[in-house]
Chains A and B, each alone.
Chain A
Amino acid sequence: MAGQIYVYIAHKGGVIDDTALELIAAAKKIDPAARPIAVVTGSGAELDQVCAEAAKSYSQVVKLASPALAHPNAEVVRKALLAILPKDAVILMPHGYLGMDLSPGLSVKLDSTYVADAIDLEKTADGKLKAVRQEYGGQVSTHVLCRMDDGIVINVRPGAFSPDESRSAGGQVVDKSGELGDLAASREFLELVQAAVGDVDITKSDVLVAVGRGIGDQENLEIAEELAAAVGGVVCCSRPIVDAKWLEKSRQVGTSGQTVKPKVYLACGISGSFQHLGGIKGNPFIVAINKNPKAPIFQVADVGIVADVVEFLPELTERIQEG
């Protein structure tokens, strides 16, 4: 028998994260009759606001309040969770910037199993967890199998499950802040530094020419610039281009970069990792050009072309310039 399911509720500025409702759906994949308990950490009026919102969807909401939890520092959150969670808990956590920081160590301290970045979950007939994960930047997927009865921490990819919008739980908020012990930590949050504003605001353009590793060489960026000029758009990119220092960080689309909402997105030599796709919103018309016919980008694009972008883009630009 697996233990009680707990869901960690992510929030920012008093607003509950979308994953709060997605993780209800994830819990129900493990056990259709599950009544997951929400756990919310934070401080002040913002925390109360989030707890009240969570109680619409969870029958029980555990509130953990402390000034030390005002900013979600993984070390402090871990201490708080260890104070209230049973060893055999099944813990669902969003695989975001906090979850990645927190969960591996939390699982060690609980002596629980850890499953990172799950995109689907099921319970097998013998009570084990079977999860779907991606490897090699999403090029292949795997099923992983593990026991749940000694406790497990499962990090779930944001957006992988459809949110449970019923909001019919009418739940109670239980304040367990009194059970928190010493929250002193050897890591201290100092400040959040906003990303620098770049030379070009890619979030304002209706047409984006996005380049990835397939562009091959820094010198080839010019052919993307020429295409962008011809279509009246701007050039943006995926992470490897920024890591290589070929373009500024402000040009990067993705979860660790900008979120864009263009009408048309020309993905040139981009394989289509979920981190990159996470930055494309508003359902644009996506054209993917990639020489690898199996690139994941072709599964989400509207139109696909198997070609080497270095050869294909100049021809396209020339045709467009002809009018």
Chain B
Amino acid sequence: MDILVCVTRVPDTAENEIEVSKDGTDIERGALVYSINEADNYAVEEAIQIKERVGGSVTVVTVGTEESEEVLRREMAMGADKGILLTDDAFAGTDGRGIATILKAEVEKGKYDLILTGALADAGAGEVGGMLAAMLDRPYASLVNSIEIVDESTLKVGREVEGGNTEMNRIKLPCVLSIQTGINEPRYVGIRGIRQVASVQIPVHGAGDLGLKAEAIAPRVQRQDYFVPTFGAGAEMLEGSNEEIIEKLVEMLKAKGGLK
């Protein structure tokens, strides 16, 4: 099975506290640690496991900047056969619809039985996979937490739904799936593995190579600003030494029935 996994490079929220920049037009990017989007990493692992079971190939593709090459190499070190970087000044500032449009153009240059994306990235929209599927007229399932290969043209996929339940679906290939975190245990990538793929050529495609006009990727949804949300009244913050804080907290817990 030939699998394409769409990945993206994002600020790592496990490593960073995201703050709004002074002028409110962006987040503070100075000291951010970037990594592969977490759900995308699960998607690549899933693709590699499918290839290990039934053969085929795994290609990772990203829409980004030159710096995005590092996440492609990381995923190639994990076991992806090939990376493709889609970058162009014209791509900057596009929206989810634009990214899906760019990916569609690349998909049509190849032949993929299965396309995977992560369920969610930094902007939290979870929209690219569903849009790409609709543009390609392929079936789609989101929030996938299990994949079973039934035969050459059919998969059985689990979708995570409310309450930790799983909705089982039969879906025809070729299709697009968005992969939820926790579907597998992504393998470790060591420095050695990354070194081994350091010199592999990564094709770079721009708007011209993909036959994309500026208006096709002009954003329909434009971000105006960033701000820190305020909800509710906010907590009463306990301050002082740990000893003082703990005394106050124990009193409160007793009053609220939190101590027996």
Contacts and interface: CB of A to CB of B under 8 A. Distances in A.
B257 A114 contact: no
A108 interface: yes
B235 A288 contact: yes
A320 B259 contact: yes
A186 B175 contact: yes
Q: Which of B122, B141, B253 lies at the interface centre, i.e. has the most chain A CB atoms within 10 A of its CB?
A: B253
Interface in B158-197: 158-172, 175, 181-182, 185
Interface string A222-254: 000000000111000001101101000110100
Tell me if B's interface is mostly helix, strand, loop or mixed: mixed
Nearest to B176: A105
Contacts of A97: 143, 159-162, 167
A279 to B, nearest CB: 9
A161 B260 CA distance: 38
A145 B14 CA distance: 29
A53 B159 CA distance: 29
Contact of B167 (A189, A285, A319): A189
Contacts of B158: 193
A145 B185 CA distance: 38
A192 B166 contact: yes
Interface string A241-277: 0110100011010011111000110100000000000
Given A105-B134, A195-B163, A306-B237, A187 B139 contact: yes
Contact of A105 (B14, B130, B166, B243): B130
A109 B134 contact: yes
Contact of B139 (A75, A190, A303, A316): A75
Given A105-B133, A264-B253, A302-B236, A191 B124 contact: no
Interface stretch (A29-37, A43-51, A59-67, A131-139): A131-139
A134 B18 contact: no
Interface in A88-140: 96-97, 100-109, 113-117, 130, 133-140
Interface stretch (B53-61, B65-73, B206-214, B216-224): B216-224
Contacts of B143: 97, 100-101
Contacts of B168: 189-193
Given A108-B135, A137-B124, A242-B182, A130 B224 contact: yes
Contacts of B100: 108
Nearest to A120: B229
A259 B122 CA distance: 26
Chain A interface residue count: which class?
35 or more
B124 A188 contact: no
A305 interface: yes
A85 interface: no
Interface stretch (A1-9, A19-27, A290-298): A290-298
B200 interface: no
Interface stretch (B79-87, B105-113, B244-252): B244-252
Interface residues of B, number: 81
B118 interface: no
A192 B224 contact: no
Given A75-B139, A137-B13, A294-B17, A187 B229 contact: no
A259 B164 CA distance: 10
B27 interface: yes
B18 A187 contact: no
A28 interface: no
A147 B219 CA distance: 11
Contacts of B22: none
Given A142-B225, A188-B169, A258 B163 contact: yes
Nearest to A193: B166
B123 interface: yes
B236 A113 contact: no
Interface of A: 73-75, 96-97, 100-109, 113-117, 130, 133-147, 185-195, 206-207, 213, 231-233, 239-240, 242-243, 245, 249-250, 252, 255-259, 263-264, 266, 285-288, 292, 294, 296, 298-307, 311-312, 315-316, 319-320
Q: 4 shortest A-B CB distances, which residue pairs?
A: A104-B130, A264-B258, A304-B235, A105-B134
Given A103-B127, A104-B128, A300-B235, 15 more contacts: A100-B143, A101-B143, A104-B126, A108-B100, A136-B124, A142-B227, A144-B222, A187-B171, A193-B167, A239-B181, A302-B235, A304-B236, A305-B238, A305-B249, A307-B242
10 contacts: A75-B139, A75-B140, A97-B160, A114-B221, A186-B172, A195-B166, A240-B14, A256-B163, A258-B164, A303-B249
